[in-house]
A = this chain, B = another copy of it.
Amino acid sequence: MKEVRFGIIGLGSMGTHHARYLINNKIKGARLTAVADINPEKLRWAEESGIQSFTDENAFYCSGLFDAVLIATPHYHHPPIAIKAFEHGLNVLSEKPAGVYTKQVREMNEKAEESKQVFSIMFNQRTNPLYQKLRELIQSGELGQLKRINWTITDWYRSQSYYDSGGWRATWKGEGGGVLINQSPHQLDLLHWITGMEPSRIRAFCYFGKYRNIEVEDEVTAFLEYKDKATCVFTTSIGEAPGTNRLEIAGDRGKAVIEDGKFTFWRLRVPESEFNREYTGGFGEPECWKIDVPVTGKETGHQGITQNFVDNILYGTPLLATGTEGIKSLAASNAMQLSTWIDDWVTLPVNEDLYHQKLTEKIKQSKIGKSVSDKTLSVDGTY
C-alpha cells in the first residue's frame, strides 16, 4: 500500500476537525476519500470539496473507497462501527473513549484481534513529550517503586453553553457520562500508560450536575489503590476556572511533578527505603537534588496519532496508541461512576454486567428532553 485512503464516519466537531487536516494534506501518505453522517446537512461541505459522502452506513463500508475508517461519532457508536469496519477488512482509528461500557469494548477488542487489521485510538496526549519523558523515567527505574500519585486535572472548563450545543452532550443516553467519558479519558489513559500500573480497586466520589444543568458527572474525585499498595488521587472537574493540571508521582527514589508545561524531578541520592533502613538520627531525610528535566520534541496531537496510524499501516512503525488499550481507561471511568452509584469500593476488573445494568437504569430514568440546536463547535485549543 502506498497511500492510506480514509473514510470518516461522524462529522460533528471532532470529525470535521479530522477531515480538515486530512483535506489540507497534513498527514503524509493519507488521503480523505469518503465521509458519512446520518445528517445530510453535515455532508454538504464535503460534497462541495469533491469527497464522496454517505448517509447510509452499509453503502459507506461497501464503497471500497477507503482502507481505514476514522470514527468520530458519539461514544456509544464507536464499538459497533469499529466491529463493522473490522468485518469489512478495514483498519480503524477511533476517537476516544473506546466506548461507554467495557462489555461493549471487550467485544470490539476481540473483533480487532480476530481481524488482524490495524487498530488505534485517538489518545493524542500520548504525543506530549512531557508525558513520554515521565514514562521513560519511570520505566527505566529512575523513580523506583511508585508510592503515590496525585493528578488534579480540573482544567476542563465547560460552560453551560457548551452542553447546550449538542443534544447528545452530557446525557446518559447520548454520552453515558460527563467529564469522565468526554474530557478525562486522556488522563485516565496516560495514568496507566505512564506508570505501567492498573488499579486493583477504586473508591470514587462523582457529583452529577453539580455545576451545570446536566444529568451526568461534572466533578469527580477518585481514590485508586494498586496491588503493591501504591495509591492515586484523581480529581477532575469542568466547573473550575482557572483549572489545574498537575501530576505528581512520588516514588522510592524521588518525586516527579509535571505542571505548567514543566517537568521537575526531585532525585534522592539513595532510595528512601535504603536511607530508612540505615539512618539512626531520628529527624533527618535523604539528600535530594531538584532537577529540571529537559524535554525535547513537540506535541503533535491528533495529527500525530493519525500520522502514526498511517505510518504503522504503510511502514510498520510501532503504534503509539494501540486501540485495544482503550479498555483500560474506560474500566477506570466505569469503576468511578459505579463506585459512586453503589457508594462503595469497586474491585477491578469492573463487574461489567452490574455497570451496564446501572447505566441502563440511568438512561431509563433520564428526564432530559433537550430541544437544543446541534451546533458544530470549533475544537481549536481543545483535544
Interface-centre pick from A150, A225, A266 (highest chain B CB count, 10 A): A150
Can you name the residue of chain B whose Cβ is closest to the Cβ of A379? B283
> How far is it, in angstroms, between the C-alpha of A211 and the C-alpha of B285 when the chains are bound?
14
- A286 interface residue per 8 A CB criterion: yes
Q: Is the CB of A242 within 8 A of B266?
A: yes
Pick from B237, B242, B244, B255: contact of A240, CB under 8 Å: B255
Q: Does A233 contact B (CB under 8 A)?
A: yes
| B interface footprint on A77-100 (CB within 8 Å = 1, 0 otherwise) | 000000000000000000000000
The verdict on A296 contacting chain B, using a C-beta distance below 8 Å, is no
Rounded to whole Å, the gap between the CB of A127 and the closest CB of chain B is 21
Are A150 and B235 CB-contacts (below 8 A) given A161-B279, A207-B229?
A: yes
Copies of this chain in its oligomeric complex:
2
**Complex CA–CA separation, A239 to B235 (angstroms):** 23
Question: Could you tell me the distance between the alpha carbons of A165 and B237 in the complex, rounded to whole angstroms?
Answer: 44
In the complex where A150-B152, A235-B150 touch, is A242 in contact with B285 (Cβ < 8 A)? yes
* A219, B223: Cα distance in complex, Å: 13
Interchain CA distance A134-B285 in the complex, whole Å: 29
Interface size class of A (residues with CB under 8 A): 35 or more
CB <8 Å contact, A242 and B223? no
Shortest CB distance A115–B (Å): 36
Task: Annotate A272-287 by CB proximity to B: 1 below 8 A, 0 otherwise.
Answer: 1001110111111110
**Alpha-carbon separation in the docked complex, A281 to B277 (Å):** 58
Chain A positions near chain B (C-beta within 8 angstroms): 147-148, 150, 152, 154, 157-162, 165, 203, 205, 207, 210-212, 219, 221, 223, 225, 229, 231, 233, 235, 237, 239-242, 244, 248, 250, 254-255, 266, 268, 272, 275-277, 279-286, 288, 343, 345, 375, 377-379, 381-382
- 16 pairs of residues in contact across A and B, judged by CB atoms under 8 Å: A148-B219, A148-B240, A150-B233, A159-B285, A161-B279, A161-B281, A165-B282, A203-B203, A223-B223, A241-B285, A241-B288, A242-B255, A242-B266, A242-B268, A244-B250, A343-B345
